């Protein structure tokens, strides 16, 4: 496959909120500019980290439209349009295409789940409905549904299904996917702390929570891997591993939105049922950010 949606670090972008819970578009615009200026390689909007599960249909589409207009082709924009309702995923995907996004991120069906045969049917119906490249999103810890390697091999026969965000955490599975699919399916790590090992197996980058707070640092790690300088990438990876991990000290995106607020980005709180961190967890996070000198770097 000659063309790729992106290589390097794609940020799984938070959705900033006002105190009343509405989307804060001024803050969203500031974040988008922050990422363009700090070498983020792609914007992934309305995904798990963007709280897509609690955005209304209207909000979801408005965030997609705002993002594509603000980015204006400077870097790729990938729209989260997955659903456990195939018809709803098709509708979101068609609407996202109208706004000029570069690609779609479609998660496996959750709650009702499905069989492997159901996954093939679900994703092919979505892929048939649009003329955009699709990244399959496999996150069994959230959905209870795992895309098996042989299923990937079947899915990548569709010309629009070109990549996977693999957040299964199973490096052996990634190796088997690469073996079965080869260049027909690009892979992006779905876990920050597995980016370097995934890229050593041929992944093209990461869709990253950590990149919300350290966009250039995540870009640099990926770039070193793309240049086959895994020794240097490993060194950076080890340096930032504590910071990567503390972003998951509570349910994503609670810690990362808390960090962005500490940086002065007006991210707001998460929508219910997600609630603020405990006092102890908040102070642990703040201490970790201070350890990396991030509070002095970003606070406005």
Q: Is the pLDDT of residue 1 over 60?
A: no
Cα–Cα distance between 48 and 28 in angstroms, integer? 16
Mean predicted confidence (pLDDT) in 7-15: 98
**Cα distances (angstroms) measured from residue 229 to each of 225, 232, 233:** 6, 6, 6
The answer to whether residue 137 is catalytic is yes
Q: Is the pLDDT of residue 138 over 80?
A: yes
- pTM, entire model: 0.96
Of residues 70, 152, 165, 257, which has the active-site annotation? 165
Of residues 137, 152, 188, 240, which has the active-site annotation? 137
The answer to whether residue 298 is catalytic is no
pLDDT band at residue 3 under the 50/70/90 scheme: confident
Angle between helix 230-246 and 279-291 (nearest 10): 150
Cα–Cα distance between 11 and 258 in angstroms, integer? 17
| CATH of segment(s) 8-227 | 3.20.20.70
Beta strands, E only, 62-198: 77-80, 103-107, 134-138, 161-166, 186-189
């Amino acid at each position: 496959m000659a063309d790729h949606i992106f290589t390097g670090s794609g940020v799984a972008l938070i959705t900033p909120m006002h105190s009343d819970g509405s989307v804060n578009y001024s803050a969203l615009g500031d974040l988008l500019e922050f990422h363009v200026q700090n070498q983020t390689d792609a914007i992934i909007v309305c995904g798990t980290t963007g709280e897509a599960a609690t955005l209304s249909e209207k909000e979801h589409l408005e965030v997609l439209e705002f993002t594509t207009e603000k980015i204006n082709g400077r870097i790729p924009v990938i729209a989260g349009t997955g659903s456990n309702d195939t018809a709803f995923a098709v509708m979101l995907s068609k609407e996202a295409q109208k706004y000029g996004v570069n690609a779609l991120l479609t998660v496996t069906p959750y709650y009702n789940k499905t069989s492997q045969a159901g996954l093939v049917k679900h994703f092919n119906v979505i892929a048939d409905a649009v003329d955009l490249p699709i990244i399959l999103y496999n996150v069994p810890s959230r959905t209870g549904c795992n895309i098996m390697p042989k299923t990937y091999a079947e899915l990548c026969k569709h010309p629009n299904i070109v990549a996977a965000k693999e957040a299964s955490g199973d490096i052996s599975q990634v190796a088997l996917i690469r073996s079965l699919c080869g260049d027909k399916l690009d892979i992006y790590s779905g876990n920050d702390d597995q980016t370097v090992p995934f890229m050593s197996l041929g992944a093209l980058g990461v869709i990253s929570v950590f990149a919300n707070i350290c966009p250039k640092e995540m870009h640099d790690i990926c770039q070193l891997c793309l240049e086959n300088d895994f020794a240097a990438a490993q060194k950076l990876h080890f340096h930032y591993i504590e910071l990567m991990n503390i972003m998951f000290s509570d349910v994503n995106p609670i810690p990362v939105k808390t960090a962005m607020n500490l940086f002065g980005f007006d991210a707001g709180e998460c929508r219910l049922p997600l609630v603020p961190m405990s006092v102890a967890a908040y102070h642990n996070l703040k201490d970790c950010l201070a350890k990396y000198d991030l509070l002095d770097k970003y606070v406005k």
